Amino acid sequence: MSSTIPTYRPDVYSREAILDPYPHYDQLRALGPVVRLAKQRALAVTRYDDCKQVLLDDATFVSGRGVALNPVANRLSRGTTLNSDGEEHDRRRKILASRLTPKSLRSMREEVERRADAVVAAAVEKQHVDGVADIAEALPTSFVPDLIGWPQEGRENLLRWAGATFDSLGPVNAQTLRTAPSTIGMMRFARSVVRRDAVLPGSMGADLLEKAASGEVERGECPALMIDYLAPSLDTTISAIASALMLLAEHPDQWAALKADPSLIPNTVNEVVRLESPLRAFARDTEVGGVAVPAGSRVVVFYASANRDERVWDAPTSFDITRDAAAQLGFGQGSHGCAGQGLARLETQSILRSVVERVDRIEVTGQLTWGLNNIIHKLDHLPLRLVPVGEGE
């Protein structure tokens, strides 16, 4: 069986591949449904149908031994929703999910839209902005930590900590080692927040600590669960918002289509997450009848490659906000499908709505740069000019 699996030698987690991953994904998809990654000693699944099949079959492809590509991170992330299976997973997911139901999201909508509009209004006032620092980071670094109940102190570290937490889920490489102290910093801080009961009143974190007080949840689980909801909420959403601004600036025809018909905003978010998927890949272990299948059994699911699979998408590399992009896999699929996607969509759509209302034209004015992270595909800088409505030449 293993002799029929082709091998791919280039390192898809090298600096160059992180910065420009798509040629690697194209080659992996062409090689076959399953390809051995020589460097990581893991099996890559990169075609749409196969990725979906793995994600939906959570009895065979388990998350409970970790979704990272290194054993240290798989050990450290025990206790999270992401890193659990079956009833344990359902229980953890339910603990905080009540804050992210469609009903809860409806009650937040007005506040998120108000905050988004203030962010966009301030950016339009400046005209020349960094689309990442001045727009994309605003809601994920304020609204979401408030919701989760992360105290004000230590917020200046959040982006660094959360980025490092994602980095740590890659293979052991220079990135993982460089960012290890920040990953540990976030865990230490979460433990101290729980120990001091320092969560904001009325927040998800406050619910969690109440559940711990009543014995519904073990107190020892709380730090991991606080991180569970915060860490994946930042860079992912920042990536989606910044990539949306970049793509709209680079494609004036799509920008014009969105201005003409703002009801395309929800689908635009799907198309952005499809084309520039914020989360590259996560792993699964294979298990048959409850027994781990040993050698080479770690399977890496490349969401970002599935989202450009030519077998499924017409002109997969074009940005087209009118195509039906709802089936994209950028939020995952199945039991581990993103628990925060409603919130991420609300944040991204609210920013886009205000941009469409307040801006006549968007231009990229300088060199944009992509960040280096094993898991997250995200712009670091996006120099933009926002020409306000009424001032277009």
- Under the rule (CB under 6 A), what is the footprint of ligand HEM? 55, 63, 67, 81-82, 93, 144, 228-229, 232-233, 236-237, 240, 273, 278-279, 282, 303, 330-332, 336, 338-341, 343-344
For ligand HEM, which is the closer residue by CB, 124 or 371?
Answer: 371
Instruction: Give the residue from 272, 284, 289, 258 showing the smallest Cα distance to 345.
Output: 272
Give the shortest CB-303-to-ligand HEM separation in angstroms.
5
Give the shortest CB-273-to-ligand HEM separation in angstroms.
5
Give the shortest CB-329-to-ligand HEM separation in angstroms.
7
3-class SS shares of the chain: helix, strand, coil, % to 5: 55, 10, 35
Give the shortest CB-283-to-ligand HEM separation in angstroms.
9
Task: Give yes or no for a contact between 321 and 264, defined as CB atoms under 8 angstroms apart.
Answer: yes
Give the shortest CB-344-to-ligand HEM separation in angstroms.
4
CA distance 90 to 366: 46
DSSP state of 283: E
Residue nearest to ligand HEM (CB): 340
For ligand HEM, which is the closer residue by CB, 124 or 304?
Answer: 304
Amino acid letter for position 136: A
Could you please report the per-residue DSSP string of 95-119? HHHGGGSHHHHHHHHHHHHHHHHHH
For ligand HEM, which is the closer residue by CB, 141 or 254?
Answer: 141
Give the shortest CB-272-to-ligand HEM separation in angstroms.
9
Three-class secondary structure assignment of 45-91? ECCHHHHHHHHHCCCCEECCCCCCCCHHHHHHCCCCCCCCCHHHHHH
Task: Give yes or no for a contact between 375 and 70, defined as CB atoms under 8 angstroms apart.
Answer: no
Cβ of 49: how many Cβ atoms within 10 Å? 13
For ligand HEM, which is the closer residue by CB, 18 or 339?
Answer: 339
Packed helices 341-358 and 252-260: angle between N→C axes, nearest 10 degrees: 90
CA distance 238 to 133: 9
For ligand HEM, which is the closer residue by CB, 124 or 204?
Answer: 204
Give the shortest CB-153-to-ligand HEM separation in angstroms.
21
For ligand HEM, which is the closer residue by CB, 124 or 343?
Answer: 343
Which residues, in sequence order, are bridge partners of residue 291? 288
For ligand HEM, which is the closer residue by CB, 116 or 124?
Answer: 116
